[in-house]
Amino acid sequence: MPLYTSPHSSMTRILEIAQLGAPVIRERAAEITDIHDPQLQTLIDDLLVTVADEHGMGIAAPQVSVSRRIIILAPKPNARYPYAPTMEPTAMINPELTWSSSEMDKDWEGCLTVPGIRGLVPRHRTIRVRYQTREGVGLETEYDGFLARVFQHEVDHLDGLVFLDRVETTHDLVTEHEWQKVIAQRCQP
Ligand code: ZN
């Protein structure tokens, strides 16, 4: 059975976001072995359109109910993340951490799958990562700070984890409404 079928393979689509409670969010996603499959390439296009439409910093395939190891990193500053760096939206196939610093940073995260909640999440400050491009080329690179955080958040989705699982205490969870006040203070000159 194909894991993903698009009724309009030549058209990109904005896909529905699976929310916490949907079983797919807690599954371990399957490795990709068929990068050149046209359906997989269509899925990547759909993920790129969907993350842009949702103003996400990234997205993982399980978030659109496809349990396969694909993530998109697409950070750019917006009202939800005014301090984000800008990076050309990038699809990563079978992404993995090959090294992570012992130094951790705590910062705010949200998630399209967990609407209305923000959490202060510890992440490795610097990481080395390996993935394949959508053309099937293997790459290794290093990220730190915000990009390292987004990568770790998205790869967690491939292992059935969400940021709520990473907070040190539930007291580090706030509503979106309260978080806006935190960000407004942080962005004052
Ligand atoms: Zn997420």
Q: Residue 5: is its pLDDT beyond 90? A: no
Q: Residue 29: is its pLDDT beyond 90? A: yes
Give me the numbers of helices (H) and strands (E) for the chain, helices first please: 3, 8
The predicted pLDDT at position 72 comes to 98
Beta strands (DSSP E) in the chain are 58-60, 70-73, 90-100, 104-109, 117-124, 126-132, 138-144, 173-175
| Range in 28-32, 53-57, 91-95, 160-164 the model is least confident about | 53-57
Catalytic residue among 16, 88, 135, 154: 154
Q: Residue 25: is its pLDDT beyond 60? A: yes
From ligand 1's centre to the CA of 162, what distance in Å? 6
Q: Residue 8: is its pLDDT beyond 50? A: no
8 Å CB contact between 59 and 74:
yes
Which pTM value belongs to this model? 0.91
Q: Residue 181: is its pLDDT beyond 90? A: no
From ligand 1's centre to the CA of 126, what distance in Å? 19
Reported as a pLDDT band with limits 50, 70 and 90, residue 1 is very low
Sheet holding 104-109, edge to edge: 104-109, 117-124, 173-175
Q: Residue 168: is its pLDDT beyond 90? A: yes
From ligand 1's centre to the CA of 161, what distance in Å? 9
Q: Residue 21: is its pLDDT beyond 70? A: yes
Q: Is 16 a catalytic residue?
A: no
Domains detected in the chain: 3-186 (3.90.45.10)
